């Protein structure tokens, strides 16, 4: 079996299973006190919230865990997921899909949804089987313990996609192809996760200003505008392209609404207001 080994355990998050489980449960419990987004889109009759997609941050848990916890708290995490992440290493294909096997975390393996990965690769949207783009990339791995704990012990399976292009045309084509795959009856149960941090390594005032510009376009579900403002304002939001891809797909599937669950910076945990990273959580509702 193709097994992806963790590269961030013991650095971005606790490397021991018990400590990691306790860490994530603490953030989810704290997040449960957050305000539920206005409106009832995504809410089932049992009161459980089921958005179509989420955006989660991927820094060290001590820095971004509160935002991830607030975004996932109270959600019924889909058992099948497409996870879109940025490419920090510059290696591999522009839209690289880990094709099979499983990803290992200290909490156990997360299976790759091989039929879903194969469907994306065959979709004509530019997706391609690729291991190299994922080997040293932390931005999906860091989320997996949250998804494992939030799913309350149920097995989850994913199609991991590393997005290494910011070309709007390529992302729009990929979004249309992703939407077509997700619109198939056999994929009606698939949810979507976007992995992204916000602006990087500027003082807290500037980070909040730049984050606000990017979030304004994200909350308007404006993929083109998001890519444009990130470029024009030099906003170092690493997952702008994965989020744009998700928004292109969402528009193909129907009317989309985006809600902000939490927004913070690394200064809250570190006390350093000079070199900060922004973190935001979003829920995408169809």
Domains of the chain, each with CATH number or no CATH: 3-35+53-269 (3.40.830.10)
* Confidence (pLDDT) at 35: 44
* Confidence (pLDDT) at 38: 47
Dihedral sign of CA atoms 233, 237, 239, 244 in order: negative
Task: For the chain, 286 residues long, give each residue's pLDDT as a single digit of tens.
Answer: 899 999 999 999 999 999 999 999 999 999 887 544 444 445 444 455 578 999 999 999 999 999 999 999 999 999 999 999 999 999 999 999 999 999 999 999 999 999 999 999 999 999 999 999 999 999 999 999 999 999 987 899 999 999 999 999 999 999 999 999 999 999 999 999 999 999 999 999 999 999 999 999 999 999 999 999 999 999 999 999 999 999 999 999 998 999 999 999 999 999 999 999 999 999 999 8
* Both tokens assigned to 276: 């900060």
* Both tokens assigned to 202: 């500027």
Contact yes or no for 243/193 (Cβ under 8 A): no
* Confidence (pLDDT) at 40: 46
CA 63 – CA 52 distance, rounded (Å): 26
* Confidence (pLDDT) at 41: 46
* Confidence (pLDDT) at 135: 96
* Confidence (pLDDT) at 117: 98
* Confidence (pLDDT) at 32: 80
Query: Helix count (H) and strand count (E) of the chain?
Result: 10, 12
End-to-end CA distance of the chain: 36
Query: Can you name the residues that pair with 9 across neighbouring β-strands?
Result: 13
CA 61 – CA 27 distance, rounded (Å): 9
> Cα 224 to chain center, whole Å?
19
Residue 150's Cβ-side half-sphere holds a number of Cα atoms within 13 Å equal to: 28
In angstroms, the Cα distances linking 179 to 52, 91, 213 are 12, 26, 27
CA 191 – CA 139 distance, rounded (Å): 18
For 127-153, the pLDDT digits (tens) are 999 999 999 999 999 999 999 999 987
Beta strands in the chain (DSSP E): 3-4, 53-56, 80-86, 95-97, 102-105, 108-112, 128-129, 157-163, 190-195, 200-202, 257-265, 276-285
CA 283 – CA 243 distance, rounded (Å): 11
Contact yes or no for 198/208 (Cβ under 8 A): no
CA 131 – CA 109 distance, rounded (Å): 17
In angstroms, the Cα distances linking 83 to 72, 78, 126, 176 are 15, 12, 16, 16
């Amino acid at each position: 079996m193709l097994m992806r080994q963790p590269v961030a355990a013991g650095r971005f998050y606790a490397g021991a299973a018990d400590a990691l489980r306790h860490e994530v449960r603490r953030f989810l419990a704290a997040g449960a006190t957050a305000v539920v987004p206005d409106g009832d889109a995504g809410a089932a009759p049992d009161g459980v919230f089921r958005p179509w997609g989420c955006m989660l941050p991927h820094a060290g848990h001590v820095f971004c865990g509160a935002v991830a916890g607030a975004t996932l708290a109270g959600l019924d995490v889909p058992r099948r997921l497409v996870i879109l992440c940025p490419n920090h290493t510059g290696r591999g294909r522009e839209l690289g899909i880990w094709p099979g096997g499983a990803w290992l975390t200290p909490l156990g393996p997360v299976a790759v949804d091989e039929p879903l990965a194969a469907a994306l690769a065959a979709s004509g949207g530019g997706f391609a089987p690729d291991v190299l783009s994922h080997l040293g990339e932390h931005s999906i791995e860091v989320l997996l313990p949250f998804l494992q704990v939030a799913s309350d012990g149920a097995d989850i399976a994913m199609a991991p996609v590393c997005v290494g292009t910011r070309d709007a045309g390529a992302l729009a084509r990929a979004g249309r192809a992703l939407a077509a795959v997700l619109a198939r009856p056999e994929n009606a149960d698939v949810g979507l996760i976007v992995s992204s941090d916000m602006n990087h390594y500027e003082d807290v005032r500037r980070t909040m200003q730049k984050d606000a510009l990017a979030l304004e376009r994200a909350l308007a579900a404006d993929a083109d505008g998001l890519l444009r403002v990130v470029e024009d304002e030099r906003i170092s939001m690493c997952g702008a392209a994965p989020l744009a891809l998700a928004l292109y797909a969402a528009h193909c599937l129907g009317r989309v609404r985006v809600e902000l669950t939490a927004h913070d910076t690394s200064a809250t945990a570190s006390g350093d207001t000079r070199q900060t990273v922004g973190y935001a959580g979003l829920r995408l509702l169809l």
